[in-house]
Structure 1
């Protein structure tokens, strides 16, 4: 096993980060240091992965040309001593051997340990595929620069506004109390009237004056004193949010936009807008659960959990994802069968652009517009014929 260089600046830079964070920072750093995106390399979509007998393989970055040739990049910032590292290299050999991957670049850091099996696999790939496999060892001084560049792309921690955390906790407590109250009221309505004790019936339907004298804080007492022309308290709260509510909504909106921006070029503008709309809908659903003032006469029966329905846009995106995956599977099977690039081109497997999907709503709208236009033209022709016949009779 290789010997590491413990305790130097590179180790100190990374020691307080989790493995997932280390991988993300390292990938972003190598992207800026080696200008991967400018050279056509980017993180592949989640659906793009390659089958091997050892399981599917997916690379950190890759570039696919118009002929379907794949050039992959695998970035390793630390040691390669685990069973997963060995399996990944075995998958790489299979993909290079079958021609599914045209070239693979493996980047490792100088002095980071590698197991004996990993070293043998790397040496074997370099020996058997000298023109298609490259092992790049990054000096540790460059590794520190790469890490620093990746760290700059990390989002700054969000600071909680004063009082926002306490407000959120109070809101959850109000939600819990409202749910308990609704459940109690529902059980009382289901109980037969003759089984209720007289005191319970009196509490449910007290005389108006006695109710107000007994409990001036009862919501029904406040309701009786409210101006009938005034809007309900819930409606006023939604129309005129408090400053804290506005601050909370603005902070949540900024966090949502920052999360979408971090996805970079992996989403289209339409997909970004859809993600933001979905996040806003989730916040609206949560806010609707808060009962600011509850009237017992308006307490509803507990309802079944809401199951969100997929929108037509989501259905089209899911269909597109399935079409892309099916094309990738067909492309891998064609390469494994030894089909030439020309035949693969005839089959439509060399294209890197997304499959064309039919927009059913748009097509239906176009068809209806064309039908209306045809009807209008037919009526105009009939009207013209009638006018000509009338002029002929008059003449």
Structure 2
């Protein structure tokens, strides 16, 4: 097997990328470096495959002229040591031998490992089909240039996702504060009344005290009277969520799915579902924490809640910025633990240590509403002008 050159600049350039990302970046880089597209080579459609006894074969790039002659290019940025590499070369021999493919260029990088079987197959193709097969070995210096050109064609990490994520975090914080406030108000309404001494009851309502003195001594009668005024028992089962709670959960789920869908092809469907499951668990844990904080100990009256401090716009902005920074740091740690690549972390806005840009959601909403009204006004003006032209045309 060939020996690699580990630890050089080319290896360091590619070490933080997954195999799928490496292949895409390398193909784009070779396209720019060798001017493949200008020479008529392009990525073939998914349906264009060539049958062989070993299975179907599809090339990274190919050119088909008016007479149907096929010229293919296969780009390899790393090692060729697996069974798939061997099978591809066996398919190439069959296609070249039958004249299905007129010419094939195999590009490999100097020093990248190749198994013994792969080297023998490459040497055999070069020996048996010198006019149909070209093995192009790229120096590691040129390979770094190709990699850099491929990276230039990658999507910029400064996409819309950070702003969308910031809006979602702000919305989530508002929902949390609303839930806390609603829980406080509900708790205040259910506080038990303090017991009063008999003398105090007599002073406040002497008529009621006299009625109690005239109350029959029969304990069964007293028990019957108490049963009439006894409040109904509360079911011990977990209550169903209210329509308002269901609406909040559905809105949170929709926002989470929108954020995950914006990642496009960077996450597979199972990964998307895993991220959504984590987000749901976080929201449920957050609700449990709020309930535990607000629930008084058994047999103890809930303490009077402290007064809510008056918040100024400056405090709101500082608190939101602090929360955004903390949440970004937590998200960065979770992403590293989950093994996300630097590219995806960059798209999510997790690589930068700069303070997050705060978005005035209310102002953005007012601006969007103003734009919508302006668009409606313009549409109505166009319809009115069209009707006037039609009227003049009929009268003429």
Larger radius of gyration: 2
Q: Which TM-score applies when normalising by structure 1?
A: 0.44
